[in-house]
Amino acid sequence: MIPLTLQQRLERAAARWPRRTAIEDPEQGSVDYARLDATAGRLRDRLCAMGVRRGDRVGFCLRKSADAVAALYGAMKCGAAYVPTDPLAPASRNAYILNDCAVAVAIVDRRFEAALRREFEALGRVPPLIVLDEPPGRALPLETALDRLDGAQPPPTASTEPGHLDDLAYILYTSGSTGKPKGVMISHRNACSFIDWCSDTFQPGEDDRFSSHAPLHFDLSILDIHVPVQHGAAVVLVGEEIGKDPVRLAPFIAAQRISIWYSAPSILSLMAQYGNLPAHDYGALRMVLFAGEVFPVAHLRSLMEQLPEPRYFNLYGPTETNVCTFYEVIGPVPSERTEPYPIGVPCAHYRERVVDELGHDVPPDGEGELCIAGPGVMQGYWNLPEQTSRGFLASGDGERWYRTGDIVVRQPDGNYVYRGRRDRMVKKRGYRVELGEIEACLYTHPIIKEAGVIAQPSPDGLQVRAFVSTRDGTRPSIIELKRFCAERLPLYMVPDVFVVRDRLPRTSTDKVDYQKLKEL
């Protein structure tokens, strides 16, 4: 089979399964493949008439909706890359992103329009906008907006640009160490190698119903949105509000008969605690996938005890590679286990190396930075050639080895264990201290729910500060926490200061926000 680009895959799905539900939008109802493809096609025609060409970028700032999914396929049907932004982020950040990659057109919800326009004007260029209104009834806002535009002058029907596998499919902006977001460029070949790995590994079928919990600017959405299209399966959009509320989300998953769930561990932890899971019927749920953060073992144990039927997978990978290693957690989780599960073995489309600071391979059982090569590795960072070249190992073997920045060690059984971030390695009293390792230790404490550790200069040298929240909201004894760490870590790694908070600040992608911790 000739590999297809993402837009071709949608057209194939529309031809094969026109009446099957593509998108279940709790607010707008079901959208089948024929309608999704037709709406995307109408947008393609409009975008082409607006001058969008193969190789361009089309941005959007949209609530997650059937429209947003149609919009990203519409952009790709022109041969353009889609650039999703976080509707909850400040307008200045989103305007920066859309301006940075010079989008040819931006598609935005009406409520974001005014603020974005102001920011674009401040940056000196306002791209052409397609603005979506909340329409009455069940029409898609995108269809309504296209009707309005077509009323003036319908665009000629364009044909879908088949594109090339090496064209960019999308650009996902992640937080950059410089403080400005940087755009991870992913080609169709990159994306499809991951999607095809998912197909081989999880064997989805047309009866599957995938969750779409992650926002579209988060790389978890690539699996949520594009894997179902490959199989004629449905994607159930999980709204922003309900997605954070375990009490409402737990019955929603059951009622929507979601069969493949994918999210960061944090919401799964909350559901294990507050979701009253045994009260609902999860007969459809056959897989629970999680990624993005370490899953605290106590919560994973509780989840798997309450829902023993599904298979559980720990997926690991930065946006630059999407998922690159995976591990199936087989239950039950032993009651004495406290250390997190491994990140596992490389996915079939990837190869790995583990290197030291000098880029030399470490011994098989040595600790080092995980580097990944294969067809899923990003093209680079948009317009940042220096950061791009720093992101890869200067190996001289002709391979593009992406440096994940994550420190791992290989267990005798071949599975990799995550130790922490390379750039979170600090030197305290001359010792190398991996802040993530301190966090990993804190997560093994039975009452700790969240842990974020930072290092800050102080008159006595580098001070390690641990921010924690507890499962039941009680204040832990700091003496007890220090003793707990002293029993498990070298003394120089015991945090100097503990700060207990109700919850830790999180980024828009639901990771602990270290920048905010440093400001506390």
Partner 1 sequence: MTKDTLGTVKEFILAEFLPGEDPNALTSSTPLITGGILDSIATLKLVGFLEETFRIQLEPHEVDADNLDTLAAIERLVARKGRAT
d(CA 450, CA 249): 21
| Tokens 């169709």, residue located | 188
Closer by beta carbon to partner 1, 284 or else 447: 447
Residue 472 interacts with partner 1 (CB under 8 A)?
no
Helices (H), 154-283: 188-202, 220-231, 240-244, 246-255, 265-274
Beta strands at 380-381 and 182-187: parallel, antiparallel or unpaired: antiparallel
Residue 485 interacts with partner 1 (CB under 8 A)?
yes
Find the shortest distance in angstroms from Cβ 485 to partner 1: 5
Residue 478 interacts with partner 1 (CB under 8 A)?
yes
Residue 447 interacts with partner 1 (CB under 8 A)?
no
Which member of 244, 286, 337, 482 binds partner 1 (CB under 8 A)?
482
Residue 83 interacts with partner 1 (CB under 8 A)?
no
Closer by beta carbon to partner 1, 136 or else 459: 459
Residue 460 interacts with partner 1 (CB under 8 A)?
yes
SS3 345: strand
Q: Measured between alpha carbons, how far is residue 20 from residues 30, 222, 238 in Å?
A: 9, 20, 19
Q: Measured between alpha carbons, how far is residue 417 from residues 112, 321, 406 in Å?
A: 42, 18, 10
Residue 491 interacts with partner 1 (CB under 8 A)?
yes
Closer by beta carbon to partner 1, 137 or else 459: 459
d(CA 111, CA 222): 26
Which member of 152, 479, 502, 519 binds partner 1 (CB under 8 A)?
479
Find the shortest distance in angstroms from Cβ 428 to partner 1: 9
Across the beta sheet with 416-421, what order do the strands follow? 351-355, 367-373, 402-410, 416-421
Structure tokens belonging to residue 381 = 């960072």
Residue 427 interacts with partner 1 (CB under 8 A)?
no
Residue 461 interacts with partner 1 (CB under 8 A)?
yes
Residue 483 interacts with partner 1 (CB under 8 A)?
yes
Taking CB under 8 A as the binding criterion, the range among 110-118, 208-216, 256-264, 491-499 that sits at the site for partner 1 is: 491-499
d(CA 145, CA 129): 11
Which member of 115, 149, 284, 500 binds partner 1 (CB under 8 A)?
500
Which member of 15, 348, 486, 520 binds partner 1 (CB under 8 A)?
486
Map residues 125-164 to x or -, x wherever contact with partner 1 holds by CB under 8 A: ----------------------------------------
- Bridge partners (DSSP) listed for residue 417: 409
412-449: b (≥16 Cβ within 10 Å) or e? eeebbbbbbbbebbbebeeeebbbbbbbbbbbbbebbb
Which member of 429, 432, 503, 518 binds partner 1 (CB under 8 A)?
429
What does the binding site for partner 1 look like in residue numbers (CB under 8 A)?
Answer: 429, 460-461, 475, 477-480, 482-487, 491-492, 494, 496-500
